[in-house]
Amino acid sequence: MSQSYLSRLGRACARITLWPSGLKISGLKILEAVRGKIAAVFTVLGRGHSRGVKVRWFKFGAWIVGTLVLLQWLVVPGFSQSPVKIQVMMQALEANQWQEMEAAFEEANPDIDLELVEAPNATNLVEDLYTSAFLLGDSPYDLVYLDIVWVPKFAAAGWLMDLSDRLSPEDEADFLDGDLAGGRYQEGLYRIPFRSDGGMLYYRTDLLAQAGYDPPRTFDDLIQISQSVQEQGLAQWGYLWQGQQYEGLAAMFVEILRGHGAFWVDPDSLEVGLDQPNAIAAVEFLRSTIEKGISPPGVTTYAEEETRRLFQNGNTLFLRNWPYVAGLAADSPIADQFAIQPMVHLPGEESGACQGGWGLGISATTPHPDEAWRVIEFITSREVQKQFILDTRYVPSRRSLFNDPDIVAAYDYYPQLLEVVENSVLRPPIAQYAQASDILQRYLSAAITGRMTPEAAMQAAARETRNVLGRA
Binding status of residue 148 toward other proteins by CB under 8 A = no
Binding status of residue 465 toward other proteins by CB under 8 A = no
Q: Based on the number of CB atoms within 10 Å of its own CB, is 103 exposed (0-12), middle (13-18) or buried (19 or more)?
A: exposed
Q: Give the footprint of other proteins on residues 13-42 (CB under 8 A).
A: 20-21, 24
Closer to other proteins by Cβ: residue 2 or 381: 2
Q: Out of 122, 209, 335, 410, name the contact with other proteins by CB under 8 A.
A: 122
Closer to other proteins by Cβ: residue 276 or 295: 295
CB of 471 to other proteins, least distance (A): 13
Binding status of residue 93 toward other proteins by CB under 8 A = yes
What are the beta bridge partners of residue 204? 338
Task: Show Cβ contacts of residue 226 under 8 Å, excluding neighbours closer than 6 positions.
Answer: 238, 239, 294, 317, 318
The answer to whether the beta carbons of residues 320 and 200 sit under 8 Å apart is yes
Torsion, Cα 426 323 301 230, to 10 degrees, reads 110
Binding status of residue 459 toward other proteins by CB under 8 A = no
CB of 83 to other proteins, least distance (A): 20
Helix (H, G, I), strand (E, B) or coil at 367: coil
The answer to whether the beta carbons of residues 247 and 435 sit under 8 Å apart is no
Binding status of residue 364 toward other proteins by CB under 8 A = no
Q: Out of 196, 244, 295, 424, name the contact with other proteins by CB under 8 A.
A: 244
Helix (H, G, I), strand (E, B) or coil at 361: strand
Q: Out of 131, 224, 337, 453, name the contact with other proteins by CB under 8 A.
A: 131
CB of 86 to other proteins, least distance (A): 15
CB of 60 to other proteins, least distance (A): 21
Quickly list DSSP for 16-39: HS--HHHHHHHHHHHHHHHHHHHH
Helix (H, G, I), strand (E, B) or coil at 461: helix
Query: Among the candidate windows 57-65, 160-168, 395-403, 435-443, which touches other proteins by CB under 8 A?
Result: 435-443
Binding status of residue 232 toward other proteins by CB under 8 A = no
The answer to whether the beta carbons of residues 28 and 162 sit under 8 Å apart is no
Closer to other proteins by Cβ: residue 216 or 248: 248
Binding status of residue 73 toward other proteins by CB under 8 A = yes
Binding status of residue 71 toward other proteins by CB under 8 A = no
Closer to other proteins by Cβ: residue 43 or 67: 67
Binding status of residue 389 toward other proteins by CB under 8 A = no
Count residues contacting other proteins (CB under 8 A)?
A: 78
Quickly list DSSP for 47-112: HSS-HHHHHHHHHHHHHHHHHHHHHHHHH-------SEEEEEEEEHHHHHHHHHHHHHHHHH-TTE
CB of 224 to other proteins, least distance (A): 25
Binding status of residue 5 toward other proteins by CB under 8 A = yes
Binding status of residue 226 toward other proteins by CB under 8 A = no
Closer to other proteins by Cβ: residue 219 or 443: 443
Binding status of residue 351 toward other proteins by CB under 8 A = no
DSSP symbol at 201:
E
Residue 383 identity (one-letter amino acid): E
Binding status of residue 2 toward other proteins by CB under 8 A = yes
Binding status of residue 449 toward other proteins by CB under 8 A = yes
Q: Out of 118, 172, 206, 383, name the contact with other proteins by CB under 8 A.
A: 118
What is the C-alpha to C-alpha distance for residues 418 and 390, in angstroms, rounded to an integer?
A: 16
DSSP symbol at 468:
H
Binding status of residue 114 toward other proteins by CB under 8 A = no
Query: Among the candidate windows 48-56, 71-79, 175-183, 254-262, which touches other proteins by CB under 8 A?
Result: 71-79
Q: Give the footprint of other proteins on residues 296-325 (CB under 8 A).
A: 296-298, 300-301, 303-306, 308-310, 313, 322, 324
CB atoms within 10 A of CB 42: 16
Q: Give the footprint of other proteins on residues 154-193 (CB under 8 A).
A: 156-158
Determine phi and psi for 395, rounding to 5 degrees. -95, 130
Q: Out of 246, 377, 399, 400, name the contact with other proteins by CB under 8 A.
A: 246
CB of 40 to other proteins, least distance (A): 28
Indicate the pairing of strand 353-362 with strand 424-425.
parallel
Task: Show Cβ contacts of residue 281 under 8 Å, excluding neighbours closer than 6 positions.
Answer: 260, 262
The answer to whether the beta carbons of residues 150 and 371 sit under 8 Å apart is no
CB of 147 to other proteins, least distance (A): 10
- Angstrom CA distances, 292 to 3, 226, 245, 285, 287, stand at 55, 10, 21, 10, 9
CB of 345 to other proteins, least distance (A): 25
Binding status of residue 6 toward other proteins by CB under 8 A = yes
The answer to whether the beta carbons of residues 360 and 380 sit under 8 Å apart is yes
The answer to whether the beta carbons of residues 358 and 146 sit under 8 Å apart is yes
Q: Out of 142, 145, 153, 219, name the contact with other proteins by CB under 8 A.
A: 153
Q: Give the footprint of other proteins on residues 270-299 (CB under 8 A).
A: 296-298
